[in-house]
């Protein structure tokens, strides 16, 4: 059993173990994202009041932009042979790279919670319909607990097993999605024009832009700290363009397909309170058992990939913790958040706000990392990157006590600008308000963080 479980944390991956090909990224991201926790964002776009094709256009536009932006972050892990957070120590300092670990923890915690929420709810709703019992809080708790346990088991086994798992999940989920298309097609209206009187932000264009950000761009951006978890295993014999192009394709296909599918399901079987409940209630009886498989199988890929990354991030923050212990700890915390949040928050507002705020934090961090990768020509000292993990001091990335305060300040300023530019269903930042309610969160985060970092790095050189 010990040989089955991966024990490697964020230490440098030896060249002998870097045998993966760029195409492996497509298998990982396609299998991982064919899940309810990604499909639910298609439901969110319809919930905003948009029509089917309006939702699809927002999803595609946002995902293309996000994938093009995030694809280059895979170069960090690939060149440094470690995960992205540790690689960012070259720019933020070997202690300052904890900013990346912090951002990664928040993002993956959110998506693990979404996986447990959607997968657990679908599991309980399917079993409720099959056996005729009430969909009570106890039944929902059983579903949440089951999904949480399963994703922990797969996440602790590690990278190579997850790679194989996602290669198997993809064809199974595509088959199950095809069955759904057949079952729900009679009730699907491709000409559904939405509910203009229910637009989340009052009018079409601000609402459509909100969907571009939450149902489209936020998907790729949620992977800014994770792409290196997988690219670090890709052989150095490949080129930058191969790594970037495969990452772009992986995120574009892996995220667009399930999110558009979610919009299809929401259009055919809508429930304003729950994507999973509407999915189950609107399906014919013969589809209920396949839906149970969708709930379980579809949660394994997304949940394990996020929990695996989350374990690495906590391992980076607490070097004395093994990846195994870190994974179990964060799984317990994330699942506890689901149990607490499920009965307290409104789904539309909670998901929208958390996605937009975390996208601002992640966009600022990614912008600085991509900019500095370009400025330093992608050069890393792999030994000096591991100073913090080996509990040493010094090296070229030590800066001031292990922190590059110029980079940390640039991230904080960019993230703040992004949050001030958020325009959500129940929060409008002052920057967004100044522009008539237009969401400027990502644009503000990117522009401010890069501009500030360019100045800070120039001053430091002088």
Roughly what angle, to the nearest 10 degrees, separates helices 204-211 and 52-70? 50
What pLDDT is stored for residue 92 in this prediction?
A: 97
pLDDT for residue 2 is more than 50: no
Can you read off the two tokens belonging to residue 105?
């923890």
Q: How far is residue 216 CA from its own chain's centroid?
A: 11
Dihedral Cα 168, 169, 172, 173, nearest 10 deg: -160
Which of the residue ranges 98-107, 162-171, 446-455 would you say has the lowest mean pLDDT? 162-171
Under the banding of pLDDT at 50, 70 and 90, the label for residue 320 is low
How far apart (Å, rounded) are the C-alpha atoms in residues 175 and 293? 11
How far apart (Å, rounded) are the C-alpha atoms in residues 50 and 446? 27
Roughly what angle, to the nearest 10 degrees, separates helices 405-420 and 347-375? 140
What pLDDT is stored for residue 141 in this prediction?
A: 86
How far apart (Å, rounded) are the C-alpha atoms in residues 88 and 82? 10
What pLDDT is stored for residue 314 in this prediction?
A: 67
Task: Please state, in angstroms and as integers, the Cα–Cα distance from residue 392 to each residue in 11, 100, 287, 319, following that order.
Answer: 14, 20, 57, 12
With pLDDT > 90 as the criterion, what percentage of the chain qualifies?
54
DSSP bridge partners of 428: 423
Phi, psi values for residue 400, rounded to 5°? -115, 100
* pLDDT tens digit sequence for 236-263: 999 999 999 999 999 999 999 999 999 9
Under the banding of pLDDT at 50, 70 and 90, the label for residue 313 is low
pLDDT for residue 61 is more than 80: yes
Q: CB within 8 A of 120, min separation 6: which ones? A: 140, 143, 144, 145, 146, 147, 148, 295, 338
What pLDDT is stored for residue 312 in this prediction?
A: 64
* Global pTM value: 0.89
- Calculate the average pLDDT of the chain: 87
pLDDT for residue 7 is more than 60: no
Which of the residue ranges 134-148, 264-278, 402-416 would you say has the lowest mean pLDDT? 134-148
CB atoms within 10 A of CB 461: 7
Under the banding of pLDDT at 50, 70 and 90, the label for residue 319 is low
pLDDT for residue 100 is more than 60: yes
What pLDDT is stored for residue 306 in this prediction?
A: 72
Q: What is the residue whose two structure tokens read 């990614």? A: 366
Under the banding of pLDDT at 50, 70 and 90, the label for residue 311 is low
DSSP bridge partners of 403: 400
Task: Please state, in angstroms and as integers, the Cα–Cα distance from residue 366 to each residue in 174, 220, 452, following that order.
Answer: 31, 11, 14
* pLDDT tens digit sequence for 40-50: 999 999 999 99
Report the Cα–Cα distance between both ends of the chain, in Å, rounded.
Answer: 54
Closest residue by Cα to residue 360 from 442, 427, 428, 450: 442
Phi, psi values for residue 359, rounded to 5°? -65, -35
* pLDDT tens digit sequence for 182-191: 999 999 999 9
pLDDT for residue 328 is more than 80: no
Can you read off the two tokens belonging to residue 343?
């009965």
Task: Please state, in angstroms and as integers, the Cα–Cα distance from residue 141 to each residue in 135, 308, 333, following that order.
Answer: 10, 23, 15
Closest residue by Cα to residue 130 from 273, 243, 285, 5: 285
Residue 50: CA count within 13 A, CB half-sphere: 30
What b/e string do you get for 422-447 counting C-beta neighbours within 10 Å, with b at 16 or more?
A: bbbbeebbebbeeeebbbbbbebbbe
pLDDT for residue 198 is more than 70: yes
How far apart (Å, rounded) are the C-alpha atoms in residues 233 and 378? 17
* pLDDT tens digit sequence for 205-242: 999 999 999 999 999 999 999 898 889 999 999 999 99
* pLDDT tens digit sequence for 160-184: 666 666 667 778 888 989 999 999 9
pLDDT for residue 1 is more than 80: no
Roughly what angle, to the nearest 10 degrees, separates helices 347-375 and 52-70? 30
Under the banding of pLDDT at 50, 70 and 90, the label for residue 137 is confident
Can you read off the two tokens belonging to residue 41?
């964002």
What pLDDT is stored for residue 163 in this prediction?
A: 61
The structural domains of the chain, ordered by start, are 19-347 (1.10.4160.10)
CB contact at 8 A, 429 and 419? yes
pLDDT for residue 455 is more than 90: yes
Q: How far is residue 150 CA from its own chain's centroid?
A: 19
pLDDT for residue 66 is more than 60: yes
């Amino acid at each position: 059993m010990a040989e089955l479980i991966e024990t490697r944390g964020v230490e440098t991956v030896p060249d002998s173990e870097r045998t993966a090909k760029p195409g492996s990224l497509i298998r990982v991201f396609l299998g991982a994202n064919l899940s309810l926790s990604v499909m639910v964002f298609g439901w969110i776009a319809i919930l905003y009041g948009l029509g089917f094709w309006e939702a699809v256009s927002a999803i595609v536009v946002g995902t293309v932009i996000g994938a093009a932006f995030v694809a280059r972050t895979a170069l960090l892990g690939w060149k440094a042979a470690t995960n992205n957070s540790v690689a960012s120590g070259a720019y933020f300092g070997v202690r300052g790279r904890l900013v990346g670990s912090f951002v990664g923890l928040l993002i993956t915690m959110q998506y693990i919670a979404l996986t447990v929420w959607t997968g657990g709810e679908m599991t309980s709703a399917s079993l409720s319909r099959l056996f005729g019992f009430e969909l009570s809080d106890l039944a929902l708790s059983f579903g949440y607990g089951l999904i949480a346990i399963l994703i922990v088991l797969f996440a602790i086994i590690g990278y190579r097993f997850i790679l194989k798992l996602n290669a198997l999940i993809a064809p199974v989920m595509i088959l199950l999605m095809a069955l759904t298309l057949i079952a729900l097609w009679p009730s699907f209206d491709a000409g559904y024009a939405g509910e203009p009187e229910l637009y989340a932000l009052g009018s079409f264009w601000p609402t459509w832009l909100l969907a571009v950000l939450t149902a489209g761009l936020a998907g790729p951006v949620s992977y800014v700290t994770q792409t290196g978890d997988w690219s670090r295993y890709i052989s150095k014999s490949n080129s930058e363009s191969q790594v970037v192009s495969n990452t772009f394709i992986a995120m574009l296909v892996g995220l667009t397909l399930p999110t558009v599918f979610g919009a299809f399901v929401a259009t055919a079987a809508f429930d304003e309170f729950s994507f999973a409940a509407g999915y189950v209630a609107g399906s014919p009886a013969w589809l209920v058992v396949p839906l149970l498989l969708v709930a379980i199988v579809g949660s394994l890929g997304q949940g394990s990939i996020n929990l695996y990354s989350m374990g690495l991030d906590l391992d980076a923050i607490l070097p004395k913790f093994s990846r195994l212990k870190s994974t179990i700890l964060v799984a317990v915390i994330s699942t506890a958040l689901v149990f607490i949040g499920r009965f307290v928050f409104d789904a539309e507002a909670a998901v929208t706000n958390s996605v937009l705020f975390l996208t601002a934090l992640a966009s600022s961090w990614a912008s600085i990392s991509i900019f500095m990768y370009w400025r330093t020509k992608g050069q890393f000292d792999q030994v000096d990157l591991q100073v913090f993990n080996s509990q040493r001091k010094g090296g070229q990335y030590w800066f001031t006590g292990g922190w590059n305060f110029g980079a940390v300040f640039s991230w904080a300023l960019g993230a703040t600008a992004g949050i001030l530019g958020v325009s959500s269903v129940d929060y409008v930042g002052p920057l967004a308000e100044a522009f008539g309610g237009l969401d400027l969160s990502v644009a503000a985060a990117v522009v401010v963080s890069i501009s500030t970092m360019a100045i800070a790095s120039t001053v430091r050189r002088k």
